[in-house]
Amino acid sequence: MPNTLVPVCSGDDQKLAKITLKNANGPEPLQRSWFDKKFETPLSDQEWRTVNEDYARSNRKLVLENYEELNGFDPEVYKTAISNVGTQSKYLALDNLDKSRKKP
């Protein structure tokens, strides 16, 4: 049986590590092509980094805010719930990028 070591620094990090290892699942990684299609132009490398940072920050916030509920789900319900978290975070990142592109 393989072991996985996950270094953690804070209580929040411990919660995130515990729920990810317990369910062996997290939000799906972003696809750059999805954002390129939404804007009909390719994202710059800086925009892509910003989108990923927004996505990660939002996922972290939502999982921690809903930790007790998510941690209590069986794996199938958790899979759907974490997918919804990822979708919400993806659209938040899309909205933030849209706003930043509209700034003068």
**How deeply is 52 buried, as exposed, middle or buried, from its count of CB atoms within 10 A (0-12, 13-18, 19+)?**
middle
**Inter-residue contact 86 to 59 (CB < 8 Å):** yes
Number of neighbouring beta carbons within 10 Å of residue 93: 22
pTM more than 0.85: no
pLDDT tens series, the chain, 104 aa: 454 444 556 778 788 877 777 777 778 889 999 999 999 999 999 999 999 999 999 999 999 999 999 989 988 898 899 999 999 999 999 999 999 998 87
Q: Can you read off the two tokens belonging to residue 34?
A: 């999805």
- pLDDT score of 66: 92
**Inter-residue contact 58 to 92 (CB < 8 Å):** yes
pLDDT in tens, 1-13: 454 444 556 778 7
**How deeply is 37 buried, as exposed, middle or buried, from its count of CB atoms within 10 A (0-12, 13-18, 19+)?**
exposed
